[in-house]
């Protein structure tokens, strides 16, 4: 009787595990099936590097280079803001903060993670966009910079939690050895603990960035959605995610526009996948 129960439970768990991989593979195959169809009428090179995105014209011009650059610019901007802040916060929580402040800070970061991203986008649209417009004397505040700042808020909780975990898992002997040899607290942190935790911190950064590059609603509301190659961070951009969200409702099933949007999905999938695989490699290197 017990053996049968064991058998059932073990196989149930096996099916659950296999199911998740199965679904991911199915999603990827569906993306490929719908997305690759666009390359029957458009060359991959012109699609990936074309500079004009006019999908409803006759004939449609499907060049996603401005969109790729838009996504990368907004993500890079968010990384530049959130990585120093996030890692700094993690160091503070792990090493420097007194216990009471540590608890409050950790709760605060969890709260930040709990705010839905569309709410952050809405707040950004109403407060940050006019602010950016007046501070930088721009024609409009709907820019990549506004997008980057709000996305940094979304990436920070991920970076802080995982980097803090990485710092905690540095063996105590490293820290004690350094202090015993006469290093100051800061010297210990900067020259011993951070390098020791570096692969975990890099994994944290990658995961934070992975979240940011897939963000849709917030960027759609505050980056201005102009499909033009950005000359600086203070201009409107259009991201891959916002393009799919804005245009999918209109694209008739089976039209070239529809296939093109799925192809954009493939590009996004590949970028996110690369980021997550890198993060995974770093995490495993640590162990």
Partner 1 sequence: MLKRWLLVMIAITCATSALAAKDKNSIQIKGSDTIVNLGQAWAEKYMEKNPTEFVAVTGGGSGTGFSSLISNTCDVAMSSRNIKEKEITLAQKQGVSPYEIKVALDGLAVVVNPANPVDKLTIDQLAGIFTGRIANWKELGGKTEKIVILSREVNSGTHVYFKEHVLRKMDPNSKEEFAPGALMLSSSQAIADEIAGNSAAIGYYGMGYISPKQKPVAVAKDGASSFVTPSIENVLNGSYPISRPLFLYTNGTPAGLTKKFVDFTLSKEGQDLVLATDFVPINPSTKARD
State how far the Cα of 281 lies from the Cα of 277, in Å rounded to an integer. Answer: 6
190 half-sphere exposure, CB direction, 13 A CA radius: 5
- Nearest approach, Cβ of residue 241 and partner 1 (Å): 13
Tokens of 170: 């540095």
Residues within window 32-71 making contact with partner 1, judged by CB under 8 A: 52, 54-57, 66
251 is a site residue for partner 1 (CB under 8 A)? yes
- Nearest approach, Cβ of residue 121 and partner 1 (Å): 11
Residues within window 161-200 making contact with partner 1, judged by CB under 8 A: none
Q: Which of 84, 53, 115, 77 is nearest to 223 (CA)?
A: 77
Q: Which of 268, 260, 263, 264 is nearest to 59 (CA)?
A: 260
Segment near partner 1 (CB under 8 A), from 97-105, 106-114, 156-164, 242-250? Answer: 242-250
- Nearest approach, Cβ of residue 204 and partner 1 (Å): 33
Residue among 255 and 276 whose Cβ is closer to partner 1: 255
SS3 224: strand
- Phi and psi (nearest 5°) for 61? -105, 115
Counting Cβ atoms within 10 Å, is residue 269 exposed (0-12), middle (13-18) or buried (19+)?
A: middle
Residue among 183 and 226 whose Cβ is closer to partner 1: 226
Residues within window 204-233 making contact with partner 1, judged by CB under 8 A: 220-221, 224-228
Residue among 66 and 200 whose Cβ is closer to partner 1: 66
DSSP state of 63: -
- Nearest approach, Cβ of residue 123 and partner 1 (Å): 15
- Nearest approach, Cβ of residue 221 and partner 1 (Å): 8
Q: Beta-strand (E) ranges in the chain? A: 53-54, 61-62
Residues within window 135-164 making contact with partner 1, judged by CB under 8 A: 139-140, 142
Q: What is the binding site for partner 1 (CB under 8 A)?
A: 52, 54-57, 66, 130, 133, 139-140, 142, 220-221, 224-228, 235-236, 238, 246-247, 249-255
């Amino acid at each position: 009787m017990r053996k049968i129960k064991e058998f059932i439970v073990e196989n149930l768990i096996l099916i659950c595990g296999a199911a998740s991989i199965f679904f991911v593979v199915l999603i990827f195959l569906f993306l490929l099936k719908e997305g690759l169809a666009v390359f029957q009428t458009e060359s991959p090179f012109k699609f990936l590097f074309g500079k004009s995105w006019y999908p409803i014209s006759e004939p449609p011009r499907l060049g996603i280079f401005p969109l790729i650059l838009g996504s990368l610019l907004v993500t890079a901007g968010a990384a530049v803001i959130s990585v120093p802040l996030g890692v700094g916060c993690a160091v503070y929580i792990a090493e420097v903060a007194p216990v009471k402040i540590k608890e409050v800070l950790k709760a605060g970061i969890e709260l930040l993670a709990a705010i839905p991203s569309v709410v952050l986008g809405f707040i950004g649209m109403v407060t940050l966009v006019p602010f950016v417009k007046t501070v930088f004397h721009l024609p409009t505040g709907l820019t990549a910079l506004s997008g980057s700042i709000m996305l940094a808020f979304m990436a920070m909780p991920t970076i802080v939690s995982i980097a803090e975990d990485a710092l905690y898992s540095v063996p105590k002997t490293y820290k004690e050895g350094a202090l015993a040899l006469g290093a100051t607290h800061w010297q210990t942190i900067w020259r011993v603990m951070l390098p020791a935790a570096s692969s975990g911190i890099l994994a944290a950064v990658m995961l934070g960035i992975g979240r940011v590059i897939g963000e849709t609603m917030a960027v759609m509301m505050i980056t201005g959605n102009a499909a033009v190659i950005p000359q600086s961070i203070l201009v409107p951009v259009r991201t891959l995610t916002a393009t799919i969200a804005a245009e999918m409702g209109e694209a008739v099933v089976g039209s070239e526009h529809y296939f093109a949007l799925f192809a954009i999905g493939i590009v996004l999938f590949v970028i996110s996948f690369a980021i997550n695989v890198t993060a995974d490699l770093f995490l495993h290197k640590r162990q």
